[in-house]
Structure 1
Amino acid sequence: MNITFIGGGNMAGALISGLLQKGFDPKAINVVEISAEGRAHLSEKFGVATQEEIGAAAISGDIVVLAVKPQQLFGVAAQLHGLLDGKLVISIAAGVRSADLSRWLGGHTMIVRAMPNTPAMVLAGVTGLCALPEVPENQRSQAETILGAVGMTLWLEREEQMDAITAISGSGPAYVFLFIEALQEAAVGLGLTPDQARALSLETFLGATKLALQSSEDAATLRARVTSKGGTTESAILVMESAGIKRVITQAAQAACLRSRELGDELGKIGAGGS
């Protein structure tokens, strides 16, 4: 595979890093990045070729990864007209639906939409993938290889499921960080130092997650195993349940999913009807 990244920000850097760690040839990667500082950083850190502008020379590979902000994608797509020739286009721009991107690209249909999350920065991400029907199996496999370089991948049958992916795994790290933040504050309030609070909170989350991953039992069963009748954990869980913590988390995820749909509607209006 020869890959061109349009945009050289954090997520593109994470994908490039993951590919190189899996033995991918840096000479097969090109990055179009408008920032001179960004181009210098990418060249120095990864040894990849960089370009300042989109053009035939920059888009000479088999795959184009669109790694720009959603609001920039319409303008980028306009510059790609006539340069794709059946190439696979992978978009990691949040909220932009494949049908709208295809329209912006002049009817190009070899498109895979991807929704990675921020743990991809440490090669521990999870990415939802959805392909237009015209994408052949070999190109689906290529998309999976690229996004799989930074963690787990999950194929979706329907693109509307991408809103749920956004709400759970896309926004999910922020939910986890909020809980860690609260746990650290509670630890300090109970007399531990900030360093102790940080270490205990992070290692507890890491250990509990590893245990859940390696266990065949569901989260409810694992929780019950820790919650002894009349014990300290039960006292804490009762407080959380009385506050409706499960209901709040469900409502939060539903709100994120709804906002994802709204953003898709808003972004889809760009370039439509002469606007």
Structure 2
Amino acid sequence: MSSALESMKGNVVLAGAGKMGGAMLSGWLARGLDPKRVGVIEPDPSAEIKALSAKGVRLNPSPADVGAVATLVVALKPQTFRDAGATLKSFTGSSTLVVSIMAGMTIASVSGNCGGSVVRAMPNTPASIGRGITVAVAASNVATVQRESADALLRAIGSVEWIEDERLMDAVTAVSGSGPAYVFLLAEELARAGAEAGLPAELATRLARETVAGSGELLHRSELASATLRQNVTSPGGTTAAALEVLMGPDGMQSLLTRAVAAATRRSRELAK
């Protein structure tokens, strides 16, 4: 049985093969996309990306070399995107699907620089192990078959949620796009606090890392709400309850995360200007 990627029509060009772009490319090839149908625009390719040339992936091709492009995936840093616009536009035509995973870059901005029919998407770094979550929104001129192609490309790195209101993408970026950093900070600070409480630093780091990773996997597998899972760990008057009184207090996690997500949302909006 063929995958959705195997049945996709036309050539795919990936602009930007850093960590996220590289993770997407690996996911596509692992799920059956023919390497000979893929071009990669990357001025400083890693050894891993260079090695894919032997499998048929075309590295830094000219528009003439790659031929008609059905899909252009833009995985550049937002700050470099506008300078690359003229180059990217040379790979697109009126019927090209453009999938952007750049933070803060609006559909209008991507369309103005690249042309084509734009899907704006926001994945996150667990995409590198196939466990990402991506939220996507399509421009009004994106055809059903193009949306299906975008969905197939994005599902190669994890789950996909579609929304209709592009204005939500700044908050999406703040929650799931930036969210892995918040979780890694939790592991970092839990380890530091453990060392402050007297644990050897190496042991505190292992305990924090495995606790965060294991709890995340439990949350992934469980059908229970996160609040219920938290309550299941918490005995009245026990040690967890004592800690949660601090974490759930007036200056605790609710206040901190509300402010953090608001700050990231504002920054996402600023990147679009």
Q: Same fold (TM over 0.5)?
A: yes
Which of 230, 235, 260 lines up with 1:252 in the alignment?
A: 260
- The one-letter code sitting in structure 2 at the alignment partner of 1:101 is V
When residues 80 and 237 of structure 1 are mapped into structure 2, their CA distance, relative to the original with a 3 A threshold, is: closer
- 2:106 alignment partner in structure 1: 97
SS in 1 for 2:120: strand
Give distance in 1, aligned partners of 2:218 and 2:113. 45
| CA apart distance, 1:88 | 0.8
Divergent runs of 4+, >4 A: none
| CA apart distance, 1:49 | 2.6
| CA apart distance, 1:43 | 3.0
When residues 226 and 83 of structure 1 are mapped into structure 2, their CA distance, relative to the original with a 3 A threshold, is: closer
- 2:179 alignment partner in structure 1: 172
1:143 aligns to 2:150 (yes or no): yes
- 1:131 alignment partner in structure 2: 138
- 2:58 alignment partner in structure 1: 50
Which of 14, 18, 21 lines up with 2:23 in the alignment?
A: 14
- The one-letter code sitting in structure 1 at the alignment partner of 2:98 is V
| CA apart distance, 1:145 | 0.9
- The one-letter code sitting in structure 1 at the alignment partner of 2:74 is L
| CA apart distance, 1:28 | 1.9
When residues 189 and 97 of structure 1 are mapped into structure 2, their CA distance, relative to the original with a 3 A threshold, is: same
Q: TM-score of the superposition, structure 1-length normalised?
A: 0.87
Asked whether the equivalents of residues 92 and 116 of structure 2 are also in contact (C-alpha less than 8 Å), the reply is: no
SS in 2 for 1:111: strand
- The one-letter code sitting in structure 2 at the alignment partner of 1:188 is A
1:23 aligns to 2:57 (yes or no): no
5 Å matches for 1:59-70?
60-70=68-78
5 Å matches for 1:149-164?
149-164=156-171
When residues 148 and 116 of structure 1 are mapped into structure 2, their CA distance, relative to the original with a 3 A threshold, is: same
| CA apart distance, 1:71 | 2.4
Asked whether the equivalents of residues 39 and 60 of structure 2 are also in contact (C-alpha less than 8 Å), the reply is: no
| CA apart distance, 1:255 | 1.4
Give distance in 2, aligned partners of 1:81 and 1:262. 24
Judge which range, 23-32 or 132-141, deviates more. Answer: 23-32
When residues 61 and 169 of structure 1 are mapped into structure 2, their CA distance, relative to the original with a 3 A threshold, is: same
Give distance in 2, aligned partners of 1:257 and 1:245. 18
Give distance in 1, aligned partners of 2:60 and 2:30. 25
1:32 aligns to 2:41 (yes or no): yes
- 2:211 alignment partner in structure 1: 204
Q: Which runs of 5+ in 2 are unaligned?
A: 1-7
| CA apart distance, 1:45 | 4.5
Which of 224, 238, 261 lines up with 1:231 in the alignment?
A: 238
SS in 2 for 1:184: helix
Asked whether the equivalents of residues 64 and 89 of structure 1 are also in contact (C-alpha less than 8 Å), the reply is: yes
Give distance in 2, aligned partners of 1:244 and 1:51. 49
| CA apart distance, 1:48 | 4.2
Provide the identity percentage: 40
- 2:196 alignment partner in structure 1: 189
When residues 251 and 158 of structure 1 are mapped into structure 2, their CA distance, relative to the original with a 3 A threshold, is: same
Asked whether the equivalents of residues 70 and 95 of structure 1 are also in contact (C-alpha less than 8 Å), the reply is: yes
| CA apart distance, 1:19 | 1.3
Asked whether the equivalents of residues 102 and 111 of structure 1 are also in contact (C-alpha less than 8 Å), the reply is: yes
When residues 201 and 61 of structure 1 are mapped into structure 2, their CA distance, relative to the original with a 3 A threshold, is: same
When residues 56 and 40 of structure 1 are mapped into structure 2, their CA distance, relative to the original with a 3 A threshold, is: farther
| CA apart distance, 1:141 | 1.0
Asked whether the equivalents of residues 92 and 116 of structure 1 are also in contact (C-alpha less than 8 Å), the reply is: yes
Q: Could you say what the CA RMSD is over the residues aligned between the two structures, in angstroms?
A: 2.0
Asked whether the equivalents of residues 24 and 157 of structure 2 are also in contact (C-alpha less than 8 Å), the reply is: yes
Count of matched residue pairs: 261
